[in-house]
Amino acid sequence: MAAELTITRPDDWHVHFRDGAMMQSVLPDTAAHFGRALVMPNLVPPVVTKSDAESYLERIKLCIPEGAGFTPLLTLYLTEATDPDDVASAHAAGLITAVKLYPAGATTNSDSGVREVKKVAPVLERMAEIGLPLCVHGEVTDPEVDIFDREAVFIEKVLDPLRQRTPGLRVIMEHVTTEDGVQYVQSHQRDLAATITTHHLMINRNHIFQGGIRPHYYCLPIAKREKHRLALRQAAVSGDKRFFLGTDSAPHVDGAKESACGCAGVYNAPNTLACVAHVFEEENALDKLEAFVSLNGAAFYGIPANGGTVTLKKQVEPVAAMDKLRTADGEVTVFDPLCDVHWYVESITQE
């Protein structure tokens, strides 16, 4: 049955644009649907200082298609050498929206991340003072900890102590993947939220190994058991303001994914809204879609929702699978949700 849904234009609260030729190719896919996106700083080298962010913003602006009505929101990459004054100055200038904590070694380009959280305490305290949120990649890096347990252990050993030591710090658990993460967020009334990705709503860990090893479903945090996927879906469709969309769209060329040591990351910018609408319809919760993709994140970050709209339509025939994106660096495979999706973005309006 054909259906149509018009909602406030969404935001992507976690995206990887990369740089150079890759950014030129992928950024328009995000700008085509989203009004704003929180841009991750894990470039090589990372976006650490105010001055790094200023120059990255200039490069980003060159890739925004004319008339897209798209605003990038920048983040700084937290290191043990980060200067609290530099962070405060970038915030005061309106240049950054958040700071990102990567435990050193947890994921792609995280080598300059944080080894000992106590070394960044002065930065975190300043962020709490000035109301600048911290985005957290919530996985411990201890090789002794099983990869499927790294989020739950992080919450207990790192995140909760960090939050207790820094009252008033607003924290976003990025790409939450477990029931433990959902429950941790649900059990706190203030200063804590979580983003959920498109792919973690749709795949569980079996999909990574279905009939062989499928590198395009490898991301970090890794997809978990089915019960965790179901917990994420319940959180997303609940309307709870503490949960919102962060796609973690993370392009790597196919050669880097389909390799003996493949990179982590799923490229889902082009079909995220279609896939998320599919999930919400399956959960009989299309009336909560707008809260998840367009309202809750803006409210948590303390900014108004976008002025424009996006109209999604549902067609009788499944929409065609998405072609690979051709970039000057090579081809990038788009997320395959492994089911028929009937939704597509029909149009957007701007304010």
Q: Which does 170 bind (CB under 5 to 8 A by kind): ligand DOR, Zn ion, none?
A: none
Q: What angle do CA 63, 58, 28 make, to 5 degrees?
A: 15
Binding partner of residue 278 among ligand DOR, Zn ion, none, CB cut-off 5 to 8 Å per kind: none
**Ramachandran assignment for 178, one of left (phi > 0), alpha (psi -120 to 50 degrees), beta (any other):** beta
Task: Report the residue number, 102 or 280, with the smaller CB distance to ligand DOR.
Answer: 102
Q: How far is 282 from 187, CA to CA, in rounded Å?
A: 26
Binding to ligand DOR in span 137-156, by CB under 6 A: 137
Nearer to ligand DOR, 63 or 237 (CB): 63
Minimum CB distance to Zn ion, residue 196 (Å): 12
Residue pair 345/33 in contact (Cβ under 8 Å)? The answer is yes
d(CA 115, CA 182): 25
Handedness of CA 206, 42, 115, 195 (dihedral sign): negative
Give least dist CB 261 to ligand DOR, A: 14
CB of 312 to ligand DOR, least distance (A): 26
For the chain, report the end-to-end CA distance as a whole number of angstroms: 30
- Cβ proximity to Zn ion, 88 vs 222, nearer residue: 222
Q: Which is nearer to ligand DOR, 137 or 233 (CB)?
A: 137
State the nearest-atom distance from the C-beta of 177 to ligand DOR, in Å.
11
Interacting partner of 36 out of ligand DOR, Zn ion, none (Cβ under 5 to 8 A depending on kind)? none
Q: Which is nearer to Zn ion, 136 or 158 (by Cβ)?
A: 136
Closer residue to ligand DOR, CB minimum distance, 107 or 327: 107
Interaction partner, residue 235 (ligand DOR, Zn ion, none; CB < 5-8 Å by kind): none
Q: Does 107 bind ligand DOR (CB under 6 A)?
A: yes
Distance CA(27)–CA(15), nearest Å, equals 10
Nearest-CB residue for Zn ion: 248
What is the nearest approach in angstroms of ligand DOR to the Cβ of residue 335?
A: 12
Tell me: does residue 108 bind ligand DOR (CB under 6 A).
Answer: yes
Residue 97 within binding range of ligand DOR, rule CB under 6 A: no
Backbone angles phi, psi at 96, to 5 degrees: -125, 155
- What's the closest the beta carbon of residue 339 comes to ligand DOR, in angstroms? 21
Residue 286 DSSP one-character state = G
Q: Which residues contact Zn ion by CB under 5 A?
A: 248
Site for ligand DOR in 275-304 (CB under 6 A): none
Token pair listed for 291: 């809260």
Residue length of the chain: 351
CA neighbor of 192 nearest in space, from 154, 152, 163, 157: 163
| Residue 268: partners with Cβ closer than 8 Å, 6 or more residues away | 197, 198, 199, 247, 248, 249, 275, 334, 335
Catalytic residue among 248, 287, 329, 340: 248
Residue 219's binding partner out of Zn ion, ligand DOR, none, with CB under 5 to 8 Å set by partner kind = ligand DOR
Give yes or no: 248 in active site.
Answer: yes
The distance of closest approach from Cβ of residue 349 to Zn ion in the complex, given in angstroms and rounded to an integer, is: 29
Q: How far apart are CA 220 and CA 202, in angstroms?
A: 15
Q: Where do runs of H (alpha helix) occur along 132-271? A: 150-154, 160-165, 179-186, 198-202, 226-237, 254-257
Coil/strand/helix, residue 202: helix
Token pair belonging to 220? 């970090």
Are 31 and 61 a contacting pair, CB within 8 Å? no
10 vs 251 by CB, closer to ligand DOR: 251
268 interface partner picked from ligand DOR, Zn ion, none, CB below 5 to 8 A per type: none
- Contacts of ligand DOR in 216-275 (CB under 6 A): 219-220, 250, 264-265
For ligand DOR, the binding residues in 9-48 under the rule CB under 6 A are 16, 42
Give the residue numbers annotated as catalytic, written as ranges.
Answer: 248
Site residues for ligand DOR per CB under 6 A = 16, 42, 107-108, 137, 219-220, 250, 264-265
